[in-house]
Structure 1
Amino acid sequence: MILVAARVQSVSRCRDRQEDNDIMIRNINRITLLLLWLSCCSLSTKVHQSPSSILGNPNVSATISCNHSVSSYNVILWYQQPTGDSGLHLIGYLLYNNPTLEDPFRQHFNVTGDGSVKSQLHVLKLRQPEDSGVYYCAASGQGANYEAYFGQGTKVTVLEDGLTITPPTVQVLRPSSKECGNDDAPKKTIVCVASGFYPDHVSVSWQVDGEAVTTGVATDNAALREDDFYKITSRLRVSTKNWFNPETVFTCTVSFYNGTHTETYSDSLHGEEGGGMTREKYLRSTQTAKLSYGVLIIKSSIYGACVAFLVWKLQRSAGKQNH
């Protein structure tokens, strides 16, 4: 992971330069730990961030809000994870009601609020593509010994000129007829493809007979850009017992944010009539094949013995005639 060094300076006028340096070093270590924590742990319910998605045109302003419920905390920090970048960049922070912005962000961002309760990150004029990415807020205390709690993140997309918001087309594809899994747990893979959408504010979920399922689900980490549009694929692994049941309904649902609200688009298919290579059928077929092979070997052996006997008889008759 790219380690982000956050330079958090004191707002108190009475602190000397050495104290500022000590604070900076402590906070560099603290932010490094926070980023490691963010990469491996769940986000906190103590911090609420909204909205979850923003679509905006260039030169339009945008605001992200963050609030926390930790009474002893007085700092809210703001981070940007640009599109295509795995690292986080510190935008600035709010200590009580005193904001501090990092140099690269001072001209285009502003931070307001009270770090002990809530904060707002203001993007003064959206730029494409510099401001597209995911934005996080984090609540903490002043000092190196406070655990930080991150918000859920806000995905921001600055729309490209000439492109319009387009919902996805969803299609569920049947499993391959050649797929039979292993003997102990034969499986079938159902594939869901969502394509032709812009931008990539989507999420994919599966339902079996109307009930949400997460086991056996594998979805692409991110949508793939194809020309002006995006495509994302998700796979659902199910048992052959469930698949070979025409009453079972498999549904793939794609949630798409269109700039004002989230709409869902889905496609479904039914399981097939009993058939295919189930474990029982596989065992029966292999046993039948073994039996047929055994019978063929026995017949071949008998045929070979008969031929050998005939050859022996002919050779013996020829010997008697010579005598």
Structure 2
Amino acid sequence: MSTLLKIKKVLFCFTAEVSAVTFQQSPQVVKEKTEVQINCSHDDANLPLMSWYQQRKGSLSMTFLGFGYATAEPTNEGRLEEQFQLRRQSMTAGTLTVHSANLSHSGVYYCAASTHSTQPAYFGKGTKLTVLDPDRQITPPKVKIFRPSPKECKNQKEEQRKKTLVCVASDFYPDHVTVSWKLNGEDVSTGVATDSAATPVDKSYRITSRLKISATLWENQDNSFVCIVSFFDGDTTIYRNDTLDVKGKGGGITRGEYLNITQGAKLSYVVVIIKSCVYGLFVGFLVWKLQGSSGKHK
């Protein structure tokens, strides 16, 4: 069987079965030279093998860090042993330790579980680690909702008319944020499109979220929209929000501003697609590599 065919076979198993296992991982924000423990646990006691991967900030590739069974000493990937240490607490829990964190360690760390190196691997969503830059100050976001462009959906049929509200969170550091929407106090998820990651701007970050609604909903003068941004500073989660009442004033947006934001959104979607494809290929390659490594040690 060719290498490419092996990778495709692994990817098929991975994408078909990944949702069956629930992982627990939490983000971290630390200072330089801190010893960091990244914990991972899942809910399937029939998966004794745990593997770890690192995706550095700004990189599309992933680095295999090591693996271990619950009943044996974990194995680091050669040259990385001085930086990382793997431990297993039980069949469903493990820890990756970064001995002395520096800026290059910032990124997302993934743990994966499987019954054996030749079987499909189940991946968690990852632990986002940010090692703080000493030249940057921790700063919560500023949040602003912009009203829909007056010219949006102007020539569309009545049933197709949509309006887009744009929420921009800016001037924050680090980039541990999530964005959510409310309509008249109720959570809204339909029609929401948020950038996959915050964009660096000078020494801070910015993220944009769009809420697409029917024009009829926007024309209801009693409706009130809220954009909520949660920001994790390493110790606590801070919430910032902005409210936009349909009948209220302010929150205007020019056509030029609207076009700039939507063009940025399109670029973000392209980046998401590219990252997803590359991520899938690397996962398949690394799992295949792990299969070969395990075979050699039999």
Structure 2 residues without counterparts, runs of 5 or longer: 249-298
CA–CA distance in structure 2, aligned partners of residues 41 and 254 of structure 1: 33
SS in 2 for 1:166: coil
Matching of residue 57 in structure 1 with residue 31 in structure 2: yes
Q: 2:143, 2:229 within 8 Å by CA — same for their partners in 1? A: yes
Establish whether residue 158 from structure 1 lines up as the match of residue 135 from structure 2.
Answer: no
Matched, 1:103 2:78: yes
Contact kept, 8 Å, 1:175 with 1:190, in 2: the verdict is: yes
Deviation per CA, 1:65-89: give whole Å up to 9, x if none. 1223323322110111111112221
**TM-score by structure 2 length?**
0.74
Q: Give 3-state SS (helix, strand or coil) of 2:74's partner.
A: strand
Structure 1 position 132, deviation (Å):
0.6
Q: 1:185 to 1:148 in 2, by over 3 A?
A: same
Distance in 1 separating the partners of 2:90 and 2:121: 13
- Tell me what 1:21 maps to: none
- Which structure's CA Rg is the greater one? 1
Q: How does 1:250-289 map to 2 (within 5 A)?
A: 250-272=225-247
Structure 1 residue runs of 4 or more that deviate by more than 6 Å after TM superposition: none
Give the C-alpha shift of residue 29 in structure 1.
4.9
Amino acid at match of 1:67: S
Q: Which amino acid aligns with 1:102?
A: E
For residues 234 and 13 of structure 2, what CA distance do their matches in structure 1 show? 31
Letter in 2 for 1:264: Y
Q: Is the 8 A contact 2:13 2:120 kept in 1?
A: no
Counting aligned pairs with the same residue, the percent is: 40
2:172 to 197, 207, 214: 197
Cα distance in 1 between the residues matched to 2:190 and 2:213: 9
Equivalence for 2:23: 48
- Say whether the 8 Å CA contact 1:47–1:151 is kept in structure 2: yes
Using the alignment, how far apart are the partners of 1:44 and 1:245 within structure 2? 40
Specify the code of the residue in structure 2 equivalent to 1:202.
Answer: V
Hey, what does 2:191 align to over in structure 1? 216
Of 2, 5, 10 in structure 2, the residue corresponding to residue 33 of structure 1 is: 10
CA contact (8 A) 1:131 1:158 kept: yes
Please give the secondary structure, in 1, of the residue aligned with 2:178: strand
Q: Which amino acid aligns with 1:72?
A: N
1:205-232 deviation line (CA, Å, top 9, x unaligned)? 1111111122221212221111111011
Bigger shift: residues 69-78 or 117-126: 69-78
3-state secondary structure, aligned to 1:80:
strand
- Equivalent AA in structure 2 for residue 266 of structure 1: N
Q: Following the alignment from structure 1 to structure 2, what is the Cα–Cα distance between the partners of residues 268 and 42?
A: 41
Match of 1:73 in 2: 47
Equivalent position amino acid for 1:33 in 2: V
In structure 1, distance between residues paired with 2:13 and 2:105? 24
Cα-to-partner distance string for 1:134-177 (whole Å, 9 max, x where unaligned) = 01111111241x23221221100111122121100000111122
1:169 — aligned with what?
142
Counterpart check, 1:91 vs 2:65: yes
Deviation at 1:57, TM superposition (A): 1.1
Structure 1: segments with no counterpart, 5+ residues: 1-24, 274-323
User: What secondary structure, in the 3-state scheme, does the structure 2 residue paired with 1:98 have?
Assistant: coil
CA 1:180–1:263 in 2, change beyond 3 Å: closer, same or farther? same
Q: Alignment length, in residue pairs?
A: 243
- Taking a change above 3 Å as real, the CA distance of residues 44 and 262 of structure 1, as seen in their structure-2 partners, is farther
Distance 2:189 2:52 in 1: 32
Per the TM alignment, residue 121 of structure 1 is displaced from its structure 2 partner at its CA by 0.5
Say if 2:88 and 2:94, in contact at 8 Å, map to a contact too: yes
For residues 161 and 37 of structure 1, the distance between their equivalents in structure 2, rounded to whole angstroms, comes to 43
Higher relative contact order (CA 8 A, sep 6+): 2
What is the rounded CA distance, in whole Å, between the counterparts of 2:115 and 2:181 in structure 1?
40
CA contact (8 A) 1:47 1:139 kept: no
Give the distance between the partners of 1:262 and 1:105, measured in 2 at CA.
32
Contact 2:18/2:121 (<8 A) preserved: no
CA distance in 1, matches of 2:116, 2:222: 59
Contact 2:162–2:213 (CA under 8 A) maintained in structure 1: yes
Q: Secondary structure at the match of 1:243?
A: helix
